[in-house]
Amino acid sequence: MMLVTCCPNCGTAFRVQAAQLAQKSGRVRCGKCSTVFDGVAALNEPAESREPTENEPSPQLALFEPSEPLRIPAAGAGPAPVSEADFLREAPPPRGGAMWLAGGALALVALLFQVLLLYRTELSVLFPGTREPLAATCRLLGCTLYLPRKPDLMSIETSDLESDRRQESVIILNAVIRNRAPFAQEYPALELTLTDERDQPVLRRVLAPPEYLQNHPGASPARGIAPGAETTLRLHFNTGGVRAVGYRLYLFYP
């Protein structure tokens, strides 16, 4: 059965068949103004009930003639016939689609870059080859690539406290710090607490790595403790005359 559908933009009427509309779910393109519209929703009276006049333009006659080429109409002539491919082809994608894709890709790259910076220390441990590139990136951005801090893999192997025989109020702390991790770690801070006979603290001091490493030219806070390495410490403290009989020594990362 021949049907008639009308373009909602320019009002041009086209003769169509139901089977042809069904091929594209009713989605058609006007052969005159190129408007894409729903041909089913724009259906009018059946073509058999409408008698075209002799001079009525008939762009729909060539609508379903694939062999007839697209022609430019002469001045005063009716609309140019349009091939089936022109009439029924899918509407082009929105022009902004490429810009949205590019923007999404840039946003994803920026997010990945932020994740890399946030977990730069962990990545440098898991993938040692990334440490130098990450350090170079941090130098450009003004951030710092820290060494790992795993206190459960850092231990005080031995320690003891002795009096300085030459100075009554001076004590000497001897200790060995060991890095048990398979990667280099940052030197920890040390907390030394002197206690009395009741194990009550009478003097407490916190030592940062630059303080307890100042007499160790081979040790560098920037390089940290190498994997499986040990550092031996010997530190002198002036107690100011405070009498102590015991001590406690802890390591931690501030």
Identify which of 215, 213, 233, 229 has the alpha carbon closest to the alpha carbon of residue 161: 233
- Report field, pTM of the whole predicted structure over 0.85: no
Please state the φ and ψ torsions of residue 224, each to the nearest 5 degrees. 75, -170
Contact at 8 Å (CB) between 159 and 174? yes
Close Cβ partners of 105 (under 8 Å, ≥ 6 residues apart): none
Q: Show the domains of the chain with their CATH numbers.
A: 2-88 (no CATH), 97-141 (no CATH), 151-252 (2.60.40)
Per-residue pLDDT of the chain (254 residues; tens, 9 = 90+): 667 888 889 888 877 777 777 776 778 888 888 888 887 887 776 645 445 444 443 444 334 333 334 343 444 444 444 434 344 555 555 666 788 888 888 888 888 777 777 767 777 766 777 777 877 888 888 887 778 889 999 999 999 999 888 888 899 999 999 999 998 899 999 999 999 999 999 999 999 999 999 888 778 888 889 999 999 999 998 888 888 889 999 999 98
Q: In the chain, what is the straight-line distance between the N-terminal and C-terminal CA atoms, in Å? A: 85
Q: Give the residue among 253, 216, 221 at the shortest CA–CA distance from 232.
A: 216
Give the integer Cα–Cα distance in Å for 31 and 87: 6
